[in-house]
Structure 1
Amino acid sequence: MLRALLLENIHPAAVQNLRAAGIEVHVRSGALDEAELIEALADFQILGIRSKTTVTRKVIESLPGLLAVGTFSIGTNQIDLAAAAAHGVAVFNAPYSNTRSVVELALAEIIALTRRLTVRDKALHSGTWDKTADGSHEVRGRTLGIIGYGNIGSQLSVLAENLGMRVVFYDTAEKLALGNAHRVETIDELLEVADAVTIHVDGRKGNAGLFGADMFARMKPGAIFLNLSRGFVVDVASLRENILSGHLSGAAVDVFPTEPKKRGEEFVSDLRGLPNVILTPHVGGSTEEAQEAIGEFVSKKLRDYMQTGSTTLAVNVPKLQLEHTGVGRIMLLHRNVPGVLAKVNQVFADHGANIEAQMLATHGDLGYVVTDISDVTQRGASAKLQAMESTVRLRIRDAFERPEFPPGPAAG
């Protein structure tokens, strides 16, 4: 029986879907460090994580039985994707499922900061009735600058316009502007006009330190700043200085360079205690609706990969989905070198096996061929496929959907 380990409070929907597929599921509430992960996964083929667990090259190389990793979040920067691909470990994420939740949090924080609700709330909790309009503004008519116009940034753009905001955005890639949003050519152009600046970039290494002292200095006096993307994108010390100096009127931060592994642990940050600053514990996508959607989405991708070899929306291996014919299925991840398909089919021909259906896809250094064929495990072809120098991972399912996983993938 296949076994899955799910960490970091993944939604029960994921557990239900995997168990319904005949997979034994174990759950843990917190994250694991590298050594803990290697020890815990010794007898598991599937790993489910969120944002706090890091899957390093050492983890992958130490676990030859690991077949797939599901990150129940948008980002995948916590996984060494190249190492996973090289060892035939497919990785799946949820690129769309929590988009609305993040957008709603951003909008709520823009309104709260612009109205200085944090300051009014703190005053009342301390027993002071501070009824005043000083520093409070409507968001209608103000300009929102969005850095990163992907799924989240573009949806935020549409909803912000519905509130009467003017939207400008910057993205390194060519993106279609939605509604009346205006694309600018440089971040400097955006900072010159934006009353609120919000970052929604991905976790690629090139975005580290993207927003530092020089960027804050270019922002309009009195503007507000939001980071709901990645903790390492922003220079926290510079943000603190600009809040204390009054150059910025407020900020909202949901992600941090260093975050506690578990709920209840102490949170340490230079941003604590600052006026009109909203700090949230990486909960941009943490609504019950989003977590259920993510649990459903990623678990079904893991299930489909284990059952049929489907790699639709995988992030590090070639993407394909071959309709199942009901006979045996051979799933071969291999190095993307010339002649592999011809060699594979020659093996089948040498053993008198007839191909019912076949599909091949490539991605970078990796190729993936899925073939439906009757009784292939009894013809001896699987041993020859496993022995091919180009083979990274070979999986077989017979016509009765019983999994067989030949040991020792020739990963490099």
Structure 2
Amino acid sequence: MPTALLLENVHPVAEQVLATAGWQVRTVPRALDEVELAAALDGVELLGIRSKTQVPATVIEKAPQLVALGAFCIGTNQIDLRAAAANGTAVFNAPFSNTRSVVEMAIAEIIALTRRLTQKDRALHDGIWDKSANGAHEVRGRTLGIVGYGNIGSQLSVVAEALGMRVLFYDTADKLALGNARRCATLDELLAEADVVTLHVDGRPGNAGMFGDAQLRRMRPGSILINLSRGFVVDHEALREHVLSGHLSGVAVDVFPTEPKAQGEPFDSILRGLPNVILTPHIGGSTEEAQEHIGMFVASKLRDYCATGTTTLSVNLPTLDLPHRPENHRLAHLHHNIPGVLARVNGVLADHGVNVEGQLLATRGDLGYVLTDVDLAYAPDVVAELAALEETVRLRVLS
């Protein structure tokens, strides 16, 4: 029975999906470091992680049997995608499943910080009755600046506008504005106008340190910053200074440059104890609904890839989805993207008198991927010859 390893408390529905499909599933409730992960992958064909476990090339190279890897989250920057592709390992993530949860948290924090609910809450816990309205505002009529207008940023745009906010956004890619949102040509333009700035950029290395002292200085006096994207995006030393100086009236941070690997481990940050600052332990997408959706979505992608070779929404392999008929055998051939590979594959099949019932090829960068359905009558030499082709990265016989 093939083995799958799920780390970091992936939702139990993922285990159910894979077990039903015939996989033996092992679970570990925390992230593993590089040495632990390399040892744990012995004999494992499917790996499921969340955001804490790093999967570098050094680990992937020690796991030639690893068929697929699922990131049960949005980001995949913790995985060496190029090394995974070179190993013939498909990678899938959950780009949409927790979008609503993150959006709702952003809205909650916008309201809480704008009304200064954090300080009212703390005062009452300290036994102080402070009913003053000083510094508290409605969000209606205020300007929200969204940095990163992807799945989360665009949906946040719609919800914020429904609350009566004016919405600006900035993205390096050309994105369609939803509703009455207005695109800003530069980040500086957005910072100069926004009362609330919320960050929803991805984990690409170029985004590291994109929000430092210079960007914080360009924000409007008394404005609010929310980071629900990546911990390395914001300079926390500079952020602390701008909170203490009063330049920023509120901050919410859900992601940190360094985060504990397991539940209950100690946490420290220079942002602790600051006024009107909300700190949360990377829970933007952590609702029961989102985690169940993610578990179902990613586990289903892993199951389908292993069973039929379907790579729809894979983040590192060419995209293919060839309808499968159970009366056929399916060969999945991942190869270097060199002209003539398909002809060589079909030449091998023709030499052995194997009839092709269906076939589909796609390429992505330096990789090509072909699914071929053949009739049931073919010699074992066919598989050996296809696997021995110089261009072959990985060959799988799926049925």
Could you say which residue in structure 2 is the equivalent of 1:362? 363
CA contact (8 A) 2:167 2:180 kept: yes
Q: For 2:154 and 2:81, how far apart are their aligned partners in 1?
A: 26
AA partner of residue 112 (structure 1): A
Matches within 5 A, 1:169-188: 169-188=169-188
Could you say which residue in structure 2 is the equivalent of 1:380? 381
Q: CA deviation at 1:54?
A: 0.5
Secondary structure at 1:380 match in 2: helix
1:343 matched to 2:370? The reply is no
CA contact (8 A) 1:376 1:382 kept: no
Q: CA deviation at 1:325?
A: 1.9
Matches within 5 A, 1:222-301: 222-301=222-301
AA partner of residue 364 (structure 1): G
AA partner of residue 28 (structure 2): R
Q: CA deviation at 1:397?
A: 2.2
Could you say which residue in structure 1 is the equivalent of 2:3? 3
Could you say which residue in structure 2 is the equivalent of 1:405? none
1:302 matched to 2:302? The reply is yes
Q: For 1:379 and 1:49, how far apart are their aligned partners in 2?
A: 36
Secondary structure at 2:131 match in 1: coil
Normalising to structure 1: TM-score of the pair?
0.96
Could you say which residue in structure 2 is the equivalent of 1:371? 372
Q: For 1:340 and 1:181, how far apart are their aligned partners in 2?
A: 47
Spell out structure 1 runs of 4+ moving beyond 6 A.
none
Q: For 1:137 and 1:177, how far apart are their aligned partners in 2?
A: 27
- What RMSD, in angstroms, separates the aligned Cα atoms of the two structures? 0.7
AA partner of residue 145 (structure 1): G
Alignment gaps of 5+ in structure 1: 399-412
1:104 matched to 2:108? The reply is no
Q: For 1:397 and 1:54, how far apart are their aligned partners in 2?
A: 29
1:89 matched to 2:89? The reply is yes
Could you say which residue in structure 2 is the equivalent of 1:409? none
Output one character per residue of 1:66-113: Cα deviation in whole Å (capped at 9) or x when no partner. 110000000000000000001100000000000000000000000000
CA contact (8 A) 1:198 1:227 kept: yes
Matches within 5 A, 1:40-79: 40-79=40-79
Q: For 1:394 and 1:231, how far apart are their aligned partners in 2?
A: 39
Normalising to structure 2: TM-score of the pair?
0.99
Secondary structure at 1:31 match in 2: coil
1:334 matched to 2:345? The reply is no
Q: CA deviation at 1:380?
A: 1.3
Q: CA deviation at 1:268?
A: 1.2
CA contact (8 A) 1:312 1:319 kept: yes
CA contact (8 A) 1:46 1:68 kept: yes
Q: For 1:342 and 1:289, how far apart are their aligned partners in 2?
A: 47
AA partner of residue 265 (structure 1): E
Q: For 1:232 and 1:317, how far apart are their aligned partners in 2?
A: 27
Secondary structure at 1:188 match in 2: helix
Secondary structure at 1:361 match in 2: strand
CA contact (8 A) 1:325 1:356 kept: no
After superposition, the Cα gap between the structure-2 partners of 1:377 and 1:265, relative to the gap in structure 1 and judged at 3 Å, is farther
Q: CA deviation at 1:2?
A: 1.4
CA contact (8 A) 1:351 1:379 kept: no
